[in-house]
Structure 1
């Protein structure tokens, strides 16, 4: 008697759709939080008496706490339960958002942003790990990660526009309050919908590794942030960047010798992990830097309004969302490596096209609408492909580490991208124009910053094309030494 085996389904069940909705809803919230307060910063400063020079800390404190703690929190999720960490993070986010909306003192607002950053560090790797372990590796997981990438980019893209609308209609406090009802709904439903079936890792937490890694990341982010204010050669910048190097070297040595490492450093020997994260780092950092330079171009060269500037990036969100919807199909057909290279190439070439921007407002606005849509499409292809690359072929016990690395890459990139690109553009303007405030000088700096931006993206694409094997991930045991034996 013969038997037939039904082919695996590529469609989501009703329960999987609900799980996906909750997890992606949380990811969308955190992407929104990064950018939604940006437009509201002047209003916050006026209401709470925050000096213009201190407004950047509302952004920086969020990024510092998120970037510095995300890998540690991802590993804690591996040890003590990702569902538990997800719920803890959502509770912290909901409370911190309410506190931020009610703040009447700058210190309370700053503390709320630290709380939101901490919640991001806790929840993002937990949500991504639950996502990768809830869907079997292959088409279904790729589809879920494609939707994840689409909503992440859409969240970043619409955050500034939504922040402006909420601030104009209801006041800046609603850029915080918007999280509260969504957070309550997720907290109420998640315990009954989400399952965490992964086995726990039974070992002690690597405290020395956690301290040195967090110190290194904080020093790096502060050092890069100082570049924009004080320049590359200032003692503060050099001291912080030097401290970051020392801390990272110490972290590597601790991990190589520890019997219970925070991160089995051998995971970085996997090309899919190291080169995948390189693609993620470049795409996030250069995208944030590009948006910053185009904002300067629109408002300082073309003298566009804040609303018109926000609308100019609306098509970017549409391109990004489309990329997320199609990314899984593209990866299934050509593989993660080809998709990664394709996405970086589209992002790099579209950025290179901005060198044609000039003083004509109509042409410039139209060019930005078209090119950012193409670049946004490529940007999300990279996000999905690098996430697939760094999580494929790993056992469930290592998914928290892999997704923590991916989340850390994202947070660090968003934090350092704008200061680096801004410093490059400013240095060019200062060196080549006697009056740096003219539209011609600003445009020259924007052009040079965008040129460097494109070169970095296309260079990363070339490195990945040359060194990332074009094959499916082998079983983790073949390449990865178990954490207990490192």
Structure 2
């Protein structure tokens, strides 16, 4: 890499890691935030939901806007919005202002992540250098989710939950100073227009889908709000496909989804993020409700998972160079499933923590191999005009996967726990074990599907 490429990579990775941390940094602090700002206990989930709705719902649209308006320009605008939203969140004294801050952070994520990925692709031609850059990006984004849980506990216990917001401000300022010096502007080379009807329907459809998933996690899959959201999402997304077939300048040309590497690559990415982030949710319940760990201790227990993701990000490009994208995804999913399924042996014995640490480390390595291979697969063989769109699709897969996994596993967990006459620790352990069977099974099923349907380039 040249000096300019290294500096550009540092700026882009810093931004991506910071935004990944923001997804989970407030989770362990929610009760404290509710008491300080005045949230009712039943409304605390909106602190996380407001972020997820915007980050997943607007990412495809903002990836396309970056193609048209300029990727560096949108990256800078998004980082400025992140800094402003984080400052507002750190100073918030009312629920309304805090939610506005989380909306700003979510919208910043939808703006920055696809622009950053497109800038990374334009800075590195296809080959080992790009694979290594994507590996680092994937490992830091996945590690950011785990780091957020650890950092949130540390900041809340040692300083204040407000620093979970304020820590972003100096990072955003630093990126805004350096980015114009090391990042080259890039945009779509051909003349095009923004597909307003397509943007409207897909954005509202994704918002409805994420809202339905969140509602299912909070209540049930048969809740009227959940069913109405899923119905609206189905209608809007079908309308989006019909609009794209006739649009002169479609937001998502359906031809790109016909490419096996784009469609099945994104399926692999969605399942990779859904399985691993939901496993963190399940194991958090186990550590706190069965083993009696504090939120901070539970967060620190995932440090080995974070280390595994970093190692997986470094191994991923080497494995891809040796066996290819498709084989790396299949091998990664099989290894992740093999590491996840033994977790059904967890018990109330304190010594079970060693099984958890070993399994999550191996699973973290394998998960990142899949994520790196998915990134390389879903963004390869595309022209400069399609890079923003491709990165928008990969970002959407990440955000929807993160949002999708927890409610699905929560539904399995709840189905076992509700109505159980066993003591709390036993019922929680049974629910976690049942959901882990499903989680590991999804990994194996994903490996089989990719092996059968992903065509080699």
Same structural fold, with TM-score higher than 0.5 when normalized by the shorter chain: yes
1:416 equivalent in structure 2? 404
CA distance in 2 between partners of 1:468 and 1:406 (Å): 16
Residue 165 of structure 1 aligns to a residue whose secondary structure is helix
Using the TM superposition, name which of 221-230 and 134-143 deviates more. 221-230
Indicate the residue corresponding to 1:174 in structure 2.
163
Q: 2:416–2:427: 8 Å Cα contact kept in structure 1?
A: no
**Alpha-carbon contact 1:268-1:274 (below 8 Å) kept:** yes
Aligned partner (choices 418, 434, 437) of residue 451 of structure 1: 437
Tell me the distance in 1 between the aligned counterparts of 2:43 and 2:123.
Answer: 42
2: distance between equivalents of 1:197 and 1:297? Answer: 47
Structure 2 length as normaliser, TM-score?
0.98
**1:86 maps to what in 2?**
75
Aligned residues: CA RMSD: 1.1
Question: Conserved in 1, the CA contact under 8 Å of 2:66 and 2:187?
Answer: no
Query: Secondary structure of 2:443's partner?
Result: helix
> Where in structure 1 are there 5+ consecutive unaligned residues?
1-11, 474-486
Partner SS state of residue 185, structure 2 = coil
> Could you say which residue in structure 1 is the equivalent of 2:358?
370
Deviation at 1:332, TM superposition (A): 1.1
CA deviation vs aligned residue, 1:340-395 (integer Å, no higher than 9, x gap): 11111121111111111111111x11111110000000111111100100100000
Partner residue, 2:265? 276
Which residue matches 2:452? 466
Aligned to 1:122: 111
SS in structure 1 opposite 2:165? helix
C-alpha distance in 2, partners of 1:68/1:147? Answer: 25
Q: Which residue of 2 aligns with 1:400?
A: 388
Please give the residue correspondences for 1:95-174 in structure 2 after superposition, counting only pairs within 5 Å: 95-174=84-163
Tell which deviates more after alignment, 448-457 or 200-209.
200-209
Residue 66 of structure 2 aligns with which residue?
Answer: 77
How far off its partner does 1:219 sit? 1.0
Asked if structure 1 preserves the Cα contact closer than 8 Å seen for 2:69 and 2:187, the reply is: no
Structure 1 runs of 4+ aligned residues shifted over 4 Å read: none
Q: Cα distance, 1:199 vs. partner?
A: 4.2
User: TM-score, normalization: structure 1?
Assistant: 0.92
* Whole-Å separation in 1 of the counterparts to 2:442 and 2:122: 33
**Equivalents in 2 of 1:319, 1:230: separation in Å?**
33
Residue 197 of structure 1, CA deviation: 4.1
Q: Which has the larger radius of gyration?
A: 1
How many Å separate the matches in 2 of 1:58 and 1:408?
Answer: 20
Aligned equivalents of 1:345 and 1:121: distance in 2?
A: 31
Bigger CA drift: 394-403 or 323-332?
323-332
Structure 1 SS opposite 2:27: coil
Aligned length: 457
Task: List aligned pairs for 1:166-205, cutoff 5 A.
Answer: 166-205=155-194
CA distance in structure 1 between the aligned counterparts of 2:106 and 2:286, rounded to whole angstroms: 30
Does residue 383 in structure 1 map to residue 371 in structure 2?
yes
CA distance in 2, matches of 1:396, 1:446: 45
Instruction: Tell me what 1:260 maps to.
Output: 249
Q: 1:442 aligns with which of 417, 428, 438?
A: 428
Give the match's secondary structure for 1:203. Answer: coil
2:275 — aligned with what?
A: 286
Deviations for 1:267-288, whole angstroms, at most 9, x for unmatched residues? 1111111111111111101111
Q: Distance in 2 between matches of 1:324 and 1:73?
A: 26
Counterpart position of 1:322: 311
Distance 1:218 1:115 in 2: 15
CA displacement, residues 25-65 of structure 1 (integer Å, 9 cap, x when unaligned) = 00001001111111221111111111111111111100100
Q: Give 5+ residue unaligned stretches, structure 2.
A: none
1:230, CA displacement in angstroms?
Answer: 2.8
3-state SS of 2:125 partner:
coil
1:2-17 equivalence runs, <5 A:
12-17=1-6
